[in-house]
């Protein structure tokens, strides 16, 4: 079945094959949403689970994500035409003072794999930038990544900035990165800590659904 082939080629990181198979599936008349859900997202979900269980590692995730992006690019105009709505909007960034972005990029990719629209603010992102973006773009979620013990404190400032801007009840603040813990999340009053990219994407989707996005 062609959708399973798409999933398998995506898991193997074969971007060109994925692209060709997605085009073939479109030509065969399979709806774009079905190609996305049962081909691309299904494959990315397998990779996400394997990554969580240490069965595959960063390089495999990155090539799979690249294959996913190539396939999704072909589907994008059709999905818009068919009226498929993104299931929620997230702004993500690595916090001010911190330039590590590999983990953040993985979280972004996994979230996109779940059908969420993700605004990538990059690295060294100030609390005000997170909050202004969430406010202006109508994001349900602010997602902050930090890899340094010296920068994770900025996450507390993001929570405070959201309170000061009057949007704390409209936005969920998710945090993660190697030095971050669930205990820290509770201490600063953020909404969720997740240890890896796959569980961050699961949690973000859960929040968006609960918020009726």
Element (H, E) at 91: strand 89-94
CB of 112 vs ligand B1M, minimal distance in Å: 14
Return the number of the residue (72 or 143) whose C-beta is nearest ligand B1M.
143
Q: Tell me the angle at which helices 127-137 and 154-164 cross, rounded to the nearest 10 degrees.
A: 40
Tokens of residue 54, six digits: 């240490």
45 vs 194, beta carbon nearer ligand B1M: 194
Query: Which residue, 45 or 75, is less far from ligand B1M as judged by CB?
Result: 45
State the minimum distance, in angstroms, from the CB of residue 178 to ligand B1M.
4
Give the length of the chain. Answer: 213
Determine the Cα–Cα distance for residues 21 and 40; give it in Å rounded to an integer.
11
Selected from 148, 156, 165, 167, the binder of ligand B1M by CB under 6 A is 148
Alpha-carbon span 103 to 90, nearest angstrom: 16
The nearer residue to ligand B1M, 25 or 161, going by C-beta atoms, is 161
What does the alpha-carbon distance between residue 153 and residue 146 come to, in Å, rounded to a whole number?
Answer: 9
53 binds ligand B1M (CB under 6 A): no
Residues that bind ligand B1M (CB under 6 A): 58, 97-104, 106-107, 143-145, 147-150, 174-179, 194, 196-197, 200
């Amino acid at each position: 079945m062609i959708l399973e082939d798409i999933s398998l080629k995506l898991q193997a990181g074969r971007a060109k094959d994925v692209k060709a198979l997605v085009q073939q599936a479109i030509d065969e008349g399979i709806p774009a949403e079905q190609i996305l859900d049962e081909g691309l997202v299904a494959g990315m979900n397998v990779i996400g689970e394997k990554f969580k269980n240490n069965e595959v590692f960063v390089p495999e995730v990155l090539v799979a994500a690249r294959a996913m992006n190539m396939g999704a690019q072909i589907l994008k105009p059709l999905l818009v035409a068919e009226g498929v709505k993104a299931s929620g909007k997230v702004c993500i960034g690595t916090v001010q003072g911190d330039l590590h972005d590999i983990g953040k990029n993985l979280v972004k990719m996994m979230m996109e794999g779940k059908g969420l629209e993700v605004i990538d603010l990059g690295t060294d992102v100030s609390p005000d930038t997170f909050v202004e973006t969430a406010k202006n773009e109508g994001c349900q979620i602010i997602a902050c990544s930090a890899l340094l013990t010296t920068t994770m404190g900025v996450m507390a400032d993001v929570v405070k900035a959201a309170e000061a801007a009057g949007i704390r009840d409209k936005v969920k603040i998710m945090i993660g990165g190697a030095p971050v813990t669930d205990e820290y999340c509770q201490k600063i009053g953020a909404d969720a800590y997740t240890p890896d990219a796959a569980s961050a994407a699961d949690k973000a989707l859960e929040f968006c659904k609960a918020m009726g996005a």
